[in-house]
């Protein structure tokens, strides 16, 4: 009875998600799709220029997406925090280890690693002048940051267990959704497949998950050769 009530509550919950297709809002939207909650999307693309950043500032003073309005009306930002919160709010969806699960520490480690080591680099890649005002030096920064992203993927791949069939074992988790979306960004899936062979099978499995087929087609269509890149 408890799981039935929880599932009913999820379908009645309404969220407003700020972000653009293919952005950091995408794993959140994918998670809400699997959870079965109602989602209204407001597309905003702060990497496209100052006018978009000003528009986002009315929602998030950091002028970044994603931002999520909860059913309570409270605003949440920071993609990892949102995913962790959603996983804990809807345990019946099975998208995260419970607090007393032996996998919980591993889950939290990698959920924080992704934005700290990889996602944060896109803030300067989206607008190199933020940290590198010399336009002649910006190509080197873009090359080196892409190398750093690839290196961080490789480090993660060498430290996880062999997926079985997902990163944390038998169940798809928020971590798999997060990695799947971010691995489509620079330096792209071809490079990701070379540096992260263990996680390659995971992201391909999530790409092909029939529960997300309609969602991917609508919000982040992707093939290896024509996939949308974040920057």
Residue range 109-131: mean pLDDT, rounded:
96
pLDDT, the chain, mean: 93
d(CA 53, CA 104) in angstroms, rounded, equals 35
When pLDDT is cut at 50, 70 and 90, the band that residue 7 belongs to is: low
Q: How many CB atoms are located within 10 Å of the residue 120 CB? A: 10
Q: Are 25 and 65 in contact (CB under 8 A)?
A: yes
pLDDT reported for residue 152: 98
Answer whether residue 225 shows pLDDT above 60: no
d(CA 58, CA 185) in angstroms, rounded, equals 26
Lowest mean pLDDT among 5-19, 98-112, 152-166: 5-19
- pLDDT one-digit tens code per residue, 16-29: 999 999 999 999 99
Residue range 85-99: mean pLDDT, rounded:
97
Look at 74 and 231; give whichever has higher pLDDT. 74
Exposure string of 194-205, with b = 16+ CB inside 10 Å and e = fewer, is ebbeebbebbee
Dihedral Cα 33, 35, 39, 41, nearest 10 deg: -50
- pLDDT one-digit tens code per residue, 33-76: 999 999 999 999 888 889 999 998 999 999 999 999 999 999 99
| Angle ∠(75,168,93) on CA atoms, nearest 5 | 50
Which residues are paired to 76 by β-bridges? 68
Lowest mean pLDDT among 24-28, 153-157, 171-175, 223-227: 223-227
CA atoms within 13 A on the CB side of 221: 4
Residue range 10-17: mean pLDDT, rounded:
96
pTM: 0.92
Lowest mean pLDDT among 41-55, 74-88, 114-128, 180-194: 41-55
SS3 221: coil
Give the number of residues written for the chain. Answer: 231
Nearest to 34 by CA among 217, 227, 174, 208: 174
Residue 117 CB contacts under 8 Å (≥ 6 apart), including other chains: 152, 155, 156
Residue range 7-13: mean pLDDT, rounded:
82
How far apart are the two ends of the chain, measured CA to CA in Å? Answer: 46
pLDDT reported for residue 100: 97
pLDDT reported for residue 198: 97
pLDDT reported for residue 8: 55
């Amino acid at each position: 009875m408890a799981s039935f009530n929880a599932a009913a509550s999820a379908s009645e919950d309404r969220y407003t998600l700020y972000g653009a297709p293919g952005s950091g809002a995408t794993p959140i939207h994918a998670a809400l799709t699997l959870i079965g909650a109602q989602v209204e999307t407001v597309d905003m693309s702060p990497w496209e220029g100052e006018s978009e950043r000003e528009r986002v500032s009315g929602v998030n003073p950091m002028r970044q997406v994603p931002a999520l309005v909860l059913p309570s009306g409270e605003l949440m930002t920071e993609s990892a925090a949102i995913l962790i919160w959603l996983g804990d709010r809807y345990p019946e969806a099975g998208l995260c280890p419970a607090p007393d699960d032996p996998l919980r520490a591993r889950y939290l480690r990698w959920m924080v690693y992704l934005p700290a080591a990889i996602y944060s680099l896109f803030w300067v890649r989206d607008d190199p002048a933020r940290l590198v005002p010399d336009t002649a030096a910006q190509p080197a920064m873009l090359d080196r940051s892409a190398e750093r992203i690839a290196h961080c993927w490789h480090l993660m791949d060498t430290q996880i267990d062999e997926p079985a069939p997902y990163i944390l074992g038998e169940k798809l988790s928020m971590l798999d959704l997060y990695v799947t979306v971010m691995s489509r960004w620079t330096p792209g899936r071809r490079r990701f497949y070379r540096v992260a062979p263990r996680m390659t099978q995971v992201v391909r499995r999530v790409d092909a998950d029939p529960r997300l087929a309609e969602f991917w087609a609508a919000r982040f269509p992707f093939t290896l050769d024509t996939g949308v890149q974040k920057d």
